[in-house]
Chain A
Amino acid sequence: MDIPYTVEIRRDTGLTNGKIGIWLFLASEVMLFGALFASYILIRSGAPTWPRGDTILNVPLATFNTLVLISSSVTMVMAWSSLMRGRFGTFRIYMGTTILLGCVFLVVKYFEYSHKFHDDLFPSTNNFLAIYFTLTGLHMLHVFGGMVVNAYFWGPGAKLWKTNPRWFTNRVEHAGLFWHFVDLVWIFLFPTLYLL
C-alpha cells in the first residue's frame, strides 16, 4: 500500500500531500506568532512608558543578522532551483551555505544574549526585555529546527536523490518554505523589537 500523491500531483487540487501539509503547518505558525504579536501590542499599549528598542539593544548587530537571514533565504531557494535543473553538486553547495548562514545567525544571537546577561538585563528585568527574549528565543528555536531539517537533506536525506529525485526536490522545496517563513517572521521581529 502506497500513499498516493506523495510524489505525483493530484489532478483536481494540483498539489502533492506534502505541499498542503507544510502550508497548513505554516498557517498554524502564523497563529502562534500572531498571538505573541497581539500580546506584545496589548502589553505595550497598556504600559505608561516603553523604551525604544535601540536604546537597549544592539541595532548594527541585528541589522547584520537580518542580512544574514535574508541571504540564507536566497541560498535556500537557489538550492532548490539547482535540484530543479538536476545539478546535485550545486545543491550541496547552496544548502551547505544556508546551514552555515543559519549558524552565523545563532552565533551572533548568542553574543547578543550573553552581552545582555552580562549587563544584568534579564527577562525578569522589565516587560520589554521579557517580550524580547520570548519572541527572539522562540524564533531561534525555529531557526535551529530549520537547520536540523536542512542538515538532514544535505546529509543522510540526500540519498533519496538517487532513487526518487522528484520526491527529494519536493521535500527540499517544503523545507525551504519553512525556512523562508522563519526569515519572514524575523523581518517583522526586527523592526518591532529593535527599531520602534
Chain B
Amino acid sequence: MSQPGAVVVPASHDAHEAHHEELGFWRKYVFSVDHKVIGIQYAITGLLFLLFGFSLMMLMRWQLAYPGAALPLLGRILGEARMPGGTMLPDFYNELGAMHGTIMVFLGVVPLAVGGFGNFVLPLQIGAPDMAFPRLNMLSYWAFFLGGVTMLASFLVPGGAAQSGWTSYAPLSVLAGAGQTMWLIGMVFLITSSLFGAINFITTTIQLRAKGLTFMRFPFFVWAQFVTAFLLLLAFPPLEAAAVLQLMDRLAGTSFFLPSGLVVSGQVLTVAGGGNPILWQHLFWFLAHPEVYVLILPAMGIVAEIIANNTRKPLWGYRSMVYSLIFLGFMSFIVWAHHMFMTGMGTAMAAFFQTTTMIISIPSVVILTALIISLWGGSIRFNTPMLFALGFLPMFGIGGLTGLPLGLNVADIPLHDTYYVIGHFHYVVAPGTIFALFAGIYYWFPKATGRRMNETLGKIHFLGSFVCMNVVFMPMFLMGLAGVSRRLYDGGATYAFAQPVLHLNVVSSWGAWILAIFQIPFIFNFFWSIWKGEKTEENPWQATTIEWASPSPPPHGNFLAAPEAYRGPYEYSVPGAAKDFVPQYEA
C-alpha cells in the first residue's frame, strides 16, 4: 500500500541531489541536518568551551598561587565588581570554580566526545548514510547551544553565575543568587540535548549498520558510543527531575531540599520545611556517576581505534573488552553513593557501595590491560595521534588507581573534599579523556577535511602538554594527603598545617599557564591545516574500519556505494595477505 512519495520523501537519488544543490549557506553550515556538519559544530563549540573553562581555571590558579595579590592588567578588565583593584573577591572565585566544573564536563568534554566524535565518526564507521533522525540531531545541537548560551549569560546577571560548585548541593544552591536559576535552566537544555542525541545514537547503531556488520564486528569505538548513549538516556532524567525540584524550591518556594528549622545568618528560614538535602545528592550522583563513564568510555573507544591502527595488530582481547564495557556501563548505575560516604551513611550501605565500587574497577582494568598488551610485539608508528593515545594509558592508569582509596569508606573520609580528589579525577579527565580527544582530532582530521595536521607541531603540542599536565596535577595528590581542602578561596594559606605544602600551589599554577602556551601550536595547526595542510587520499592511516571507505571529506550521504562488512574490525598484519591491513569493507 506504500506509494513512493515524490513530494514528501525524496525517494530517488536524483531528486535528492537536485534538492541538495539548492541548500544555501544557512541550511548547509548552520541549520544543517547532516551528521558530519553537526558533528563538526559540536566539536568546535566543545573546543571553544574547553578553552573558556580552562581560562576560568587559570584565573583561579592566580588567586591560589598568590592569594590576595592584585592580578596585573586582566584584573582591571574584569571590573570592580569582581576584582576590585585587581584582587579577586571570594564570590567571584566561587563563580569561577562552579562554572569551570560545569563548563568542562557538560559543555566541553561531553559535547566533544559524544556530540562531536559520536556524530561525525559513528555513522561513518557503521556504513550509514546519516543518523536515523537527522532533524532530531539538529535539534540536539541547538538545545546544547541554547544551554551553553544560558550558562554564559549567567555571568551577567546580578550576583553573577552559579557559586555552589558544579554539584550544586542543597541547601546552599537553593539559597544562592539568580545565577543558580540560570544554571538549572541551562542544565535542562543540556539534558534535553543529550536525550535527543542518545535516542539517535542507539537507533542509528541498531538500525543503520551496514550489511554484514554484526555487533561483534563493530569497531570498539562504536561499542563505546553505544554503551555511552544508554548511560545518557537512562541516567540524565533523574538529574532533570532534580533540576525541576530545585527550580520549584527556588521559584515556587517549595521545600524539597530544605529541612525544617534551617538557620541562615542567625535567622530561621521561613519555609514550610520537611525537605531533605540528601535527596539532591542522591539524584545528582545517580546521574553524575554514570556521567563519569560518559566522559571516559568514548575516550577508550578512540584510543582503541588508534592503538590497533598504529601497532598494525588486532586489538588484544576484543571480546573481553566489549564485555567489560557493557559490564562497566551497567555497574555505573549502582555505585553512585560512594560520592556520599561523608553524609553519615550507615555502615551496611557504605559496605554495599564500596563493594560495587571495587567491582567496577575490574572491567576498567581489563580494558586498560588489553590496550597495553595490544602494544606488545607491534611495530609501532609514533605519529601524533598515537603519542596522545599512548599518553592516555599511564595517565588514565594513575587516575584510576588513585581512585581506589576514595572508593573505600574508611580511606575516603580523610581524603574527601581534599585536593587528592581533584588530582584523582583530573588525571582521569584531563590528561586522560582530553588526551584521547586530541588523539581523535589528529586521527580523524584527514577524514573531515581531506588534509593532514602538521606532525612537528603536533609533537610539540603533545610533549609540552604531557609534561605540563603532570606538573599541574601531581602536586595536588601531595597537598590532598597533607589535608588541604578543595574550594578554599586562599588555597589553604590560613591553615597552619597547610604551610609546608603551600608552595606546591605555585608549581601547579605555573604548570597550568605554561600548559596554555603549549595549546597555541595546536590552535595554529588546526586552522592552518584546514587550508594549507598536506593533502591526503581517503585512507591515509591504512586503516581497516569502514569510515575510511568514504571520500575525504565525505559527501552528503557519505558513501559512493553502500558499503558492506566482510570481517571483523581489526584485520591488521594477517599472515599471507598482500598488504598489512585487510579493510572490513573489501570483499
Contact = CB atoms under 8 A, between A and B. Distances in A.
Direct contact of A and B (CB under 8 A): yes
Interface of A: 1-8, 10, 13, 15, 17, 20-21, 24-25, 27-29, 31-36, 39, 42-43, 46-47, 86, 122-127, 130, 133-134, 138, 159-160, 163-167
User: Would you call the interface of chain A mostly helix, strand, loop, or mixed?
Assistant: helix
Interface string B99-118: 00000000000000000000
Contact of A127 (B8, B207, B256, B283): B256
A126 B275 CA distance: 10
B241 A20 contact: no
A86 B2 CA distance: 12
B204 to A, nearest CB: 8
Interface stretch (B58-66, B230-238, B478-486): B230-238
A124 B254 contact: yes
Nearest to A36: B241
Nearest to A127: B274
A130 B255 contact: yes
A165 B207 contact: no
Nearest 6 interchain pairs by C-beta? A124-B253, A163-B5, A1-B557, A35-B241, A130-B254, A32-B237
B509 to A, nearest CB: 40
Contact of A165 (B2, B132, B237): B2
B557 A28 contact: no
Interface string B1-42: 111011111110100100000000000000000000000000
Contacts of B359: none
Contact of A1 (B3, B16, B282): B16
B79 to A, nearest CB: 36
B28 to A, nearest CB: 15
A123 B252 contact: yes
B372 interface: no
Given A21-B132, A42-B279, A138-B244, A160 B255 contact: no
B9 to A, nearest CB: 6
Contact of A20 (B207, B254, B256, B276): B207
A52 B581 CA distance: 70
A2 B12 CA distance: 8
Contacts of A27: 233-234
Interface in B166-222: 195, 198-200, 202-203, 206-208
B139 to A, nearest CB: 13
A167 B238 contact: no
Contacts of B48: none
A165 B4 CA distance: 10
A167 B272 contact: no
Contacts, number: 162
B245 A31 contact: no
Contacts of A32: 237-238, 240-241
Contact of B271 (A7, A15, A124, A165): A124
B7 A5 contact: no
Contacts of B10: 2
Contacts of B206: 13, 20
Contacts of B7: 163
A181 to B, nearest CB: 13
Nearest to A7: B2
A163 B9 contact: yes
Contact of B237 (A3, A4, A6, A31): A31
A125 B233 contact: no
Contact of A4 (B208, B238, B241, B283): B208
B254 to A, nearest CB: 4
Contacts of A133: 248, 252, 254
B134 interface: yes
Contact of B8 (A8, A21, A163): A163
Interface of B: 1-3, 5-11, 13, 16, 129-134, 136, 195, 198-200, 202-203, 206-208, 233-238, 240-242, 244-245, 248, 252-256, 271-272, 274-276, 279, 282-283, 286, 556-558
Given A32-B237, A35-B283, A130 B256 contact: yes
A24 B199 CA distance: 6
Contacts of A43: 256, 274-276, 279
10 contacts: A3-B129, A10-B207, A35-B240, A39-B245, A130-B255, A134-B244, A138-B244, A159-B8, A163-B7, A167-B2
A29 B237 contact: yes
A7 B8 CA distance: 12
B272 A163 contact: no
Contacts of B240: 32, 35
Contact of A130 (B234, B272, B283): B272
A126 to B, nearest CB: 5
A46 B258 CA distance: 13
Nearest to B133: A21
Given A122-B253, A123-B254, A35 B286 contact: yes
B199 A35 contact: no
B234 A15 contact: no
A160 B207 CA distance: 23
B73 to A, nearest CB: 47
B546 to A, nearest CB: 16
A16 to B, nearest CB: 8
A25 B192 CA distance: 11
B2 A164 contact: yes
Given A124-B252, A134-B245, A31 B9 contact: no
A50 B134 CA distance: 48
Contacts of B274: 43, 46-47, 126-127
A25 B253 CA distance: 31
Contacts of B255: 124, 127, 130
Given A43-B274, A160-B8, A17 B238 contact: no
